[in-house]
Chains A and B, each alone.
Chain A
């Protein structure tokens, strides 16, 4: 994309507001923060979000915000490609669709036809769904699955409200996955030992190349460390591992950085997994990024999942696990297998 400076409008320069969501308190709160944006009323969020032939990558240059009410389910059973960390009742919720970060490998590019961000303002309905599940069994809920909730906290306040909700429901554990640098969040939310903050950790070279707009490695480690100081359980996710020709060097040096900045014995656990994505979603990524080595890499299709060829995958995962075993006991390392 030839992108002269000033080509794009600022992020959320346009906010589409669904009729049903217009009167919701959260809608009003969000709109009051974006007084310079153009507000466009819509009948249904899909009229904008599901238009044909949208370009995820172009829209990422100037994402619009869509405020809507989710009238269907918002809590789903975890997919097999997700790491369940040994929890029997693993669910995820989708209160925000899409993310303000711009990772080239993000599965959302394949899952959604749009790079715009949808916020479902009726979080109270997701709470009711979770309460219904909790009547039957404990629940492990990934709340930052289709987005990075911490990155959107100023907008939505969802990290805070999910934390408060979790505190009030002893059988609920939530995971908030992030690539954010924000530490102030830990001052602003109440402490709860069933709120797990999961930081995706990548070498700085991978962040620079493929995880645009996200926090640097040192910022993520510093934020993770801050969460641990406040007593929150913290998980480090070395997932996805991304192949580049000098991957061994950069991942080795990343592990030394982790050791330097984090008291690894305090970590709840660690997850390791090389990049993998549904073949269906991946078709769109390849179209979207014709000149990206990551997207054009000759992956292998194993049962509908695109993965690195086995020798590459094993080499990367085993190397990482060996490096990480110097930092944390083996039983705290979860490797993705499916």
Chain B
């Protein structure tokens, strides 16, 4: 699942429309949208770090972020020297001076995000009227999303993609919803292509036969420590492509399972180890 946090509806609108996300009509602390097939969920946090951190935590806990499969994306506008779409490689929180670094592992150049699109960003507490460093981008949520997200999300599964809406203004009203939406729309296809690509990135997991494991642990009268040992045997059998079921059925046929005492259980555990190696 792709988890997306946007500050404003105007920024998220093109994504919501293009991905045909539906609004969650249940009462939610943050406006939430989701794809029919549960591949995407998006929350509107509102502006500022407190709102962003709490919306991120809400989204990740409510929909259960899986660190081997899911991605967290923060998409939104920022102030910068030149128009464009940028991949963020460093986020500095102006208030604390702390910096945060998402992993820059994936090659997204063929989707329109080459190295030249990478920039560092500063999270500030109010709209900036000018760029103190013209090489940096300025916005109001990223550092909080990173910090809240980092409690659940590994750094290779968090992504910040920002588009420039202005180069700093003394009148925030000049950054209209229409402007934010039209700029966001310009980059929607790039963002979707990146998400499609990353949506396929998953890491291997061990899936042991839990039913067989539990029935064996009970039949062998195993203590908690011995259960851990048995679980490891199951994991090894799966990794080494060894038929654990066959070994256990063999022990059933020999009359060694079930056992009558814990001591016998320990002995059978040793036999399983021998047959595995």
Contact = CB atoms under 8 A, between A and B. Distances in A.
B157 to A, nearest CB: 9
Contacts of B211: none
B178 interface: no
A7 B106 CA distance: 6
A213 B117 CA distance: 30
Contacts of B205: 290
A309 B204 CA distance: 27
A61 B103 CA distance: 12
A38 B232 contact: no
B107 A51 contact: no
A291 B206 contact: yes
A58 B206 contact: no
A293 B240 contact: yes
Contacts of B236: 293, 296-298
A184 interface: no
A38 B90 CA distance: 11
Contacts of A314: none
Interface string B24-49: 00000000000000000000000000
Say which size band chain B's interface belongs to: 35 or more
Contacts of A290: 204-206, 235, 239
Interface string A55-92: 10111011010000000000000000000000000000
Interface in B90-118: 90, 99, 101, 103-107, 110, 115, 118
Contacts of B107: 6-10, 13, 62
Interface residues of A, number: 42
Interface string A141-180: 0000000000000000000000000000000000000000
A6 B156 contact: no
Given A51-B155, A296-B232, A312-B277, A1 B201 contact: yes
Contact of A6 (B110, B115, B229, B233): B110
Contact of B154 (A4, A54, A297, A298): A54
Tell me the interface secondary structure of chain A in the complex.
Answer: loop
B42 to A, nearest CB: 23
Interface stretch (A39-47, A198-206, A249-257): A39-47
B235 A53 contact: no
Interface in B224-263: 229, 232-233, 235-236, 238-240
B21 to A, nearest CB: 25
A121 B191 CA distance: 38
A52 interface: yes
Contact of B232 (A14, A291, A298): A298
A234 to B, nearest CB: 34
B12 interface: no
Nearest to A295: B239
A64 B101 CA distance: 12
Nearest to B204: A291
A14 B155 contact: no
A267 interface: no
Contact of B104 (A13, A43, A298): A13
Nearest to A36: B115
Contacts of A61: 105
Nearest to A57: B203
B156 A55 contact: yes
A48 B273 contact: no
A4 B110 CA distance: 13
A38 B155 CA distance: 18
Interface in B174-221: 200-206
A38 B277 contact: no
A60 to B, nearest CB: 10
B161 interface: no
B239 A58 contact: no
A53 B201 contact: no
A292 interface: yes
A53 B153 contact: yes
B172 to A, nearest CB: 30
A53 B154 contact: yes
A246 interface: no
Contacts of A16: 101
B131 to A, nearest CB: 18
A10 B106 CA distance: 9
A312 B240 CA distance: 17
A215 to B, nearest CB: 25
Contacts of A2: 200-202
B191 to A, nearest CB: 18
A309 B235 contact: no
Contacts of A293: 236, 239-240
A13 B108 CA distance: 12
Given A13-B115, A40-B101, A291 B239 contact: yes
A57 B118 CA distance: 24
Contacts of B202: 1-2
A53 B150 contact: yes
A66 B89 CA distance: 14
A9 B104 contact: yes
Contacts of B105: 8-9, 58-59, 61-62
21 contacts: A7-B106, A7-B201, A16-B101, A37-B115, A38-B115, A40-B90, A53-B150, A54-B156, A55-B203, A62-B106, A62-B107, A286-B235, A290-B205, A290-B206, A291-B239, A293-B236, A295-B239, A297-B240, A298-B232, A298-B233, A312-B277
* Cβ-closest 3 pairs across A and B: A293-B240, A290-B206, A296-B239
